[in-house]
Amino acid sequence: SDLFSSSIVAKFALKDKWVDIIKNKFNFEPKLVDITAWYTFPGNKSSNNLDDHKTTYDAQIWHRDVDKLRDVKIFFYLTDVDNIDDGPFEILKGTHLFSMENFNYFNKNNYRILDKDIPQKLSAKKHSFMGKKGTNFAVNTRCLHRGGKVIENYRLVLELYFSSSFFGKHLKFNDYSRPQLNAK
């Protein structure tokens, strides 16, 4: 709720630039449905295995977002993510086109897939987003994606979540009431 009440964040999130990117690249009229930011710290150093779901954050397991009818998220690195040990955001290119039934889900409720269950031909399509603080990128989160496991330092990310509709589970099942943007 602090992000929504910040006029600086609200003005940044409501820039026409983000809406134009989504219209031009993803071909739909976007609605801003959420703003989040989070730190990711190094996990249990005894296990760097991303399939070890007891030592890995849920978002660090391959998954797809299916909360709304159509989702695009714009991510902003607020810390440098220079190498794989900094836990870059990763996608498997083109997997938004795959039927959701084609995968062996570790958790079918949240569409989580263990690394070992990703077919080799899809693993070859992995793209890791590296960049300095300020780097940003837009992603169709129907693609299989994850946040890489942070081994050193920490990662801070800001996320603008856009959808084609407000319809979907996100608003209905939130544990807290959604505050309103304060663009003043």
Around Cβ 157, how many Cβ atoms within 10 Å? Answer: 18
Q: Which of 84-88, 122-126, 169-173 has the lowest mean pLDDT?
A: 169-173
Confidence (pLDDT) at 174: 44
Helices vs. strands in the chain: H and E counts, helices first: 5, 9
The region, left, alpha or beta by phi > 0 then psi within -120 to 50, assigned to residue 94 is left
Q: Cite the DSSP H helix spans in the chain.
A: 2-5, 7-13, 16-26, 120-123, 169-173
**Mean pLDDT across the stretch 120-140?**
93
Confidence (pLDDT) at 175: 44
The secondary structure of residue 63, as a DSSP letter, is E
pLDDT tens digits for range 153-163:
899 999 999 98
Residues β-bridged to residue 156: 39
Confidence (pLDDT) at 107: 72
pLDDT, averaged across the chain: 82
Q: How confident is the model at residue 136 (pLDDT cuts 50, 70, 90)?
A: very high
Q: Residue 173 pLDDT > 70, yes or no? A: no
Question: Exposed, middle or buried by CB within 10 Å (0-12, 13-18, 19+), for 120?
Answer: exposed
Q: How confident is the model at residue 123 (pLDDT cuts 50, 70, 90)?
A: confident
| Three-state DSSP state, 1 | coil
- What whole-number distance in Å separates Cα of residue 67 and Cα of residue 155? 25
- What whole-number distance in Å separates Cα of residue 15 and Cα of residue 35? 13
Cα radius of gyration (the chain): 16
Q: How many residues does the chain have?
A: 184
164 near 41, Cβ under 8 Å?
Answer: no
